[in-house]
Structure 1
Amino acid sequence: MQLSWIRSLNVQLIALLTLALFPLGAIAVFQTDRVSRDAQESVNTALLGLTERAARREQVLIERAVGVARFFSSLAPELVEQNRDCTPVLSRFVQDNSEFSFIGIVRPNGVVTCSSSGLVINVAGTKSFNAVTGSGEASINVAETGFISSGSTFVVSEPLFTDGEFDGYVAVAIPHKKIPDTSEEIEELGLVELVTFNENGTILTARSDRKTAEGFMPSDRTLTSLSTNRSDTFVAQSVSGVDFHYSIVTIEGSPAAVIAVWELGAFSLNEGVGRFVPLLFPLLMWIASVAVAMMAMHSLVLRHINRLRRTMDEFADDRRVTEIQDRISFIPSELEELDKNFLRMSEEIMADEALLEDSVREKNVLVKEIHHRVKNNLQLISSIMNMQIRNAKHGETKKALRTVQERVLSMATIHRDLYQSQNGGRVNAGYLVSEIVEKSVSSLSEEGLNVRSEIEDILLYPDQAVPLSLLVAEAMTNALKFLDVGQDGEKQLAVKLMRSDDSCQFEVSNSTKHSAVTEMKGLGSKLMQAFAMQLGASLQTDQSEEKYVLSVSFKINDFEQVTPDF
């Protein structure tokens, strides 16, 4: 009963529509997600393009430094042999290219004997020296103190090989102050920081300063884990706790890359509301479909069914039927036919009920007339017997006739009550018992008789009411016959008729003397036994020193129709 809402037509329709729209929704989610991912990829590509644009001058500078290092590495053997021509060549090149602060050829022992400064310098133990000699590959590292300039530089190192053996490297130094600034146009697009780093995760350059730039780096990954050979974009939280969009572009021909830090909202489609965009269209489609279906269901079906149900309720409550044109308009033809069928059925039911009511009323009149005539006949018999009693000359004859007369009057009383009954053919057994007790006591001219009665109103059909009333009459005759003074000096008579659930119990007790009661073997006793058998019960008696009790208990039966014998 608690889950009756599941059986609702609206709920079932929504469930079926959801099931029907699920494949379309899945396709829509897939397509929308695909479009969203393609759009994000386009945004990422555009972001990489902007990063390339922002770092272009820096890329060119580093690429030129790598090219210069490679160029002089090819000339290094000749320059080393012609030591006196080495310094002028390198010095003149640095003077002509102001973005470089130093060029020198470093020998395997770390001593620079040929440089643009003309000084003999020992760089053994520096980051650049350790990186090149350790790996034998090109590297880019930071030098906090420049060889010539007073500021910090980053050094591009290209190894030298003679007959396949490592023979030192060419170092090209670029001062940090020579790094070009980013244009305001790109900064307005959301650029926060632009950083150059090498394969070891060392920050080479930064737009602010290298220490400040560390706070803008992603917290969930290190620069060492980021590739310097592949462009990439990702979203992460910075060390300072702010979410940024990061983009990485490589510097061609060098072991370094540029990472740009962008404001998150400017280039992200998958953050915030954007994450739910793939679900928005199928959700709206489902809501619109359900709304249209509910409106159609209510307009075409439910409102007509509800009105038809109310009509049926009205018919069930007070047999009233509203005309179809007064209660339903624009009804579908199928429901209109259903309504017409209900109207025709209700009219037939009311006609049949009217016929049944007439038939029942006629039968009730006939039954009551029969009971009335039986009652009159029994009273007539009682009157005839009364005449016989008056003409009888012997007391025993009068007594026998009076006993029979009382039994006839008991049956007449039952038929009188059936004639007057308004309880569907049932009589009030309590009223019958009270009347029999009252008549029995009034016929006995005894003084000092204490009568106690506890009689409930119990409705019985005639099949049980007749034998019960006759049994009560015989029991009262028997009780009054053996009535005597008890030990308390009074004559006591008690009558009970009680109901418990579907059973009925009758009990009559009278005060007596033990010696005065003998075993009942007369006609009255046999009649009481017979009446008890008709009630489907057994007669119980209990005798003590001062009381005699007669009781019977039986089950109250419903009306049983007699099967017609055709």
Structure 2
Amino acid sequence: MTPGPWYKKLSVQLIALLTLALLPLGAVAIFQTDRVAAKTDANAGLALLSLTEAAARQEQILIERAIGTARLFRSIAPTFLADPQNCASQLAPFIDANPEYSFIAVIPQSGIVECSSADEIFNLNGVDNFDELMSSQEPAIVVDRNGHASGESVFVVSEPLEMDGAFAGFVSVSIPHRSLPTYIKDDEQYQGLVELVTFNRAGTVLTARGGLDAATPELPSGLELAGLFSTQSQTFRADNRRGLERRYSVVPIQGSPASVLAIWEIENALSLPAKISPAIFPLLMWFASMGVAMLAMNTLVIRHLTRIRRKMNAFADDRNTHRPYAPNALFPIEIEMLEENFARMSEEILRDEAAMENAVREKGVLVKEIHHRVKNNLQLISSIINMQIRNADADETKTVLRRIQDRVLSLATIHRDLYQSQDGGRVNAGNLVTEIVEKSAELVTGEGRDLNLQMEIDPVLLYPDQAVPLSLVVSEAATNALKHIGAQSARGGTFDVRLKQDGTTCTLVMTNSVGVTQSRDSTGLGSKLMKAFAMQLGGTIDIDETDDQYSLTIQFNADDFQPEARDY
């Protein structure tokens, strides 16, 4: 048996149905897993924000104190500006007492700094960010990698100054980067913290635990820090500028134009969900379900059905039967009943086939006996007619008897071919026509006359209902043709016989020459017989006769086998 399409296999259909059944559960599982992952991620983000605030506590205190200091000196800045020469003597002791600061100055809009903790005058015109600072007139924190007063890298906290209700400049406090705390790597609480930086509203990095230059590659790729500045805390995932995925947490420093950015390693971030899609769990559940279902199907059904199929194939090939499989405790009762039914069915088939073989054998013996009896009867009839021919005195009587004998011999020929037929009871009518014509032609050649016989015969298979009348009509036509062919002429005549088949349409054409002085005396029995046989064929007969030629054309259709009507 040829295997069918793959999608018709039991295992494939089972997987499809189970997948359809598990689809709603999978969708619910994905939804729930996604919600749990989102909630876990949110909780992890809150934890990271709390850790970020704790880790950046020192930066936050330092910036808040610097802002407080700037605001303190802002309140007394008019006094300092009234006596700029005494600013250094009043501000320098404060710097000495607070080493976390390196410089304090009152910066007017003109950019000429005369009042500062340093005993000198500074011109800030043309310095980076100076024009933007003056135009903003808002609190700001900027970076100066080369401090004008201290000559070292600092970040500057500036608070706007007003005098007589009008903007007059800024009070700035410089904090050197050297005074910032360093990251404590041994602290397990902050394990996984890659970098901790602060940045201002413009997106400029103010401080970095690992250094300003080292912090740059760890910043998020494709994101501007200015866009991350907000009054709300947030966490997100992104690739750094080296292409490594990081977890970022942003916490604003309240009351200042600065925010803290903590950079965490993904694998060490606190309680972060693994980089596994929520769909992986329903998928694993699907694989597990399919594995259990296929194991159960193979154990309980498929392997038993495969064994039964092999038994059926063996039985179909060589009628080989096998002993039933000894069931065990896990053998399904339905499969057991199926195997028992097949065993019982195969035994019944073998018994029925044995009975049919006996019936066919008996029928074969009976058919042989019938054929033998028919053969003997036809031989007996032919012998009787032959005895009558020898005892007859009149030539006309002998001629009539010979014609009867020819018809009997034609029936015998048909009977013999039917007896020997191996094609479902059909007879090769072409062989019958050839044999009948050749036997009829022997009569002419036996009289010493020349005969130009031409035959073109197709192998036409007909059932006996048509083969018999066709043979009889050919026998009658050949007898009539050879009787009148070249009569009273020593040169003999021509006889052309053609039998063609085109689809189911068969055409018989028999053409013979006619003697010059042939006798026209005839009883007309031959013509009547040929017309009768043509009617039995279910065909039409057409006779074309001239002075020197006689042509007979019969056209009919080869019928299929028509069983006899049942006699009720």
* Range that drifts further, 210-219 or 384-393: 210-219
Q: 1:518-533 alignment to 2 at 5 Å?
A: 522-533=524-535
Shift of 1:531: 0.8
Gaps of 5+ in 1: none
Provide the rounded CA distance (Å) in 2 between the counterparts of 1:558 and 1:141.
109
Shift of 1:433: 3.0
Q: 1:60-209 alignment to 2 at 5 Å?
A: 60-76=61-77, 87-107=88-108, 112=113, 114-119=115-120, 121=122, 123=124, 130=131, 133-161=134-162, 165-185=166-186, 189=191, 193-207=195-209
Shift of 1:130: 4.5
Amino acid at match of 2:64: E
Provide the rounded CA distance (Å) in 1 between the counterparts of 2:379 and 2:350.
43
Amino acid at match of 2:433: V
Counterpart of 1:293 in structure 2 is 293
* Range that drifts further, 355-364 or 194-203: 355-364
Shift of 1:110: 5.0
Q: 1:377-392 alignment to 2 at 5 Å?
A: 377-392=377-392
SS at match of 1:278: coil
Shift of 1:467: 0.8
Provide the rounded CA distance (Å) in 2 between the counterparts of 1:443 and 1:127.
138
Q: 1:74-473 alignment to 2 at 5 Å?
A: 74-76=75-77, 87-107=88-108, 112=113, 114-119=115-120, 121=122, 123=124, 130=131, 133-161=134-162, 165-185=166-186, 189=191, 193-207=195-209, 210=212, 213-239=215-241, 243-262=245-264, 266-267=268-269, 274-325=274-325, 331-419=331-419, 424-444=424-444, 445-447=446-448, 448-455=450-457, 458-473=460-475
What is the aligned counterpart of 1:478 among 456, 477, 480?
Answer: 480
SS at match of 1:564: coil
**Could you tell me whether the CA contact under 8 Å between 1:55 and 1:258 is conserved in 2?**
yes
What is the aligned length?
564
Amino acid at match of 1:344: R
**Could you tell me whether the CA contact under 8 Å between 1:50 and 1:186 is conserved in 2?**
no
Shift of 1:65: 0.7
* Range that drifts further, 494-503 or 335-344: 494-503
Provide the rounded CA distance (Å) in 2 between the counterparts of 1:565 and 1:144.
122
Provide the rounded CA distance (Å) in 1 between the counterparts of 2:279 and 2:521.
98
Measured at CA, do residues 96 and 518 of structure 1 come closer, stay the same or move farther in structure 2, by a change above 3 Å?
farther
Counterpart of 1:508 in structure 2 is 510
Identity %: 51
Provide the rounded CA distance (Å) in 2 between the counterparts of 1:106 and 1:128.
13
CA deviations over 1:231-283 (Å, ceiling 9, x no partner): 33333344566654433332232101233445565549999xx5444233222
Amino acid at match of 2:401: L
Shift of 1:297: 1.4
**Could you tell me whether the CA contact under 8 Å between 2:486 and 2:516 is conserved in 1?**
no
Amino acid at match of 1:116: S
**Could you tell me whether the CA contact under 8 Å between 1:137 and 1:159 is conserved in 2?**
yes
**Could you tell me whether the CA contact under 8 Å between 1:128 and 1:157 is conserved in 2?**
no
Provide the rounded CA distance (Å) in 2 between the counterparts of 1:321 and 1:2.
23
**Could you tell me whether the CA contact under 8 Å between 1:248 and 1:259 is conserved in 2?**
yes
* Range that drifts further, 317-326 or 80-89: 80-89
Measured at CA, do residues 147 and 559 of structure 1 come closer, stay the same or move farther in structure 2, by a change above 3 Å?
closer
SS at match of 1:324: coil
Shift of 1:524: 0.9
CA deviations over 1:190-223 (Å, ceiling 9, x no partner): 5555433210222323456646654543341222
Cα RMSD for the two superposed structures? 4.0
Measured at CA, do residues 242 and 414 of structure 1 come closer, stay the same or move farther in structure 2, by a change above 3 Å?
closer
* Range that drifts further, 20-29 or 364-373: 364-373
Amino acid at match of 1:381: I
Counterpart of 1:21 in structure 2 is 22
SS at match of 2:279: helix
CA deviations over 1:284-334 (Å, ceiling 9, x no partner): 221221122112212222222233333333343444432323799964222
Measured at CA, do residues 525 and 186 of structure 1 come closer, stay the same or move farther in structure 2, by a change above 3 Å?
farther
**Could you tell me whether the CA contact under 8 Å between 1:127 and 1:142 is conserved in 2?**
no
CA deviations over 1:407-463 (Å, ceiling 9, x no partner): 123223433444555555444434433432343223332333343445455543321
**Could you tell me whether the CA contact under 8 Å between 1:198 and 1:228 is conserved in 2?**
no
Shift of 1:14: 0.2
Shift of 1:347: 3.2
**Could you tell me whether the CA contact under 8 Å between 2:47 and 2:270 is conserved in 1?**
no
SS at match of 2:565: coil
Amino acid at match of 2:65: R
Shift of 1:97: 0.3
SS at match of 2:325: helix
Provide the rounded CA distance (Å) in 2 between the counterparts of 1:240 and 1:176.
25
Provide the rounded CA distance (Å) in 1 between the counterparts of 2:305 and 2:490.
78
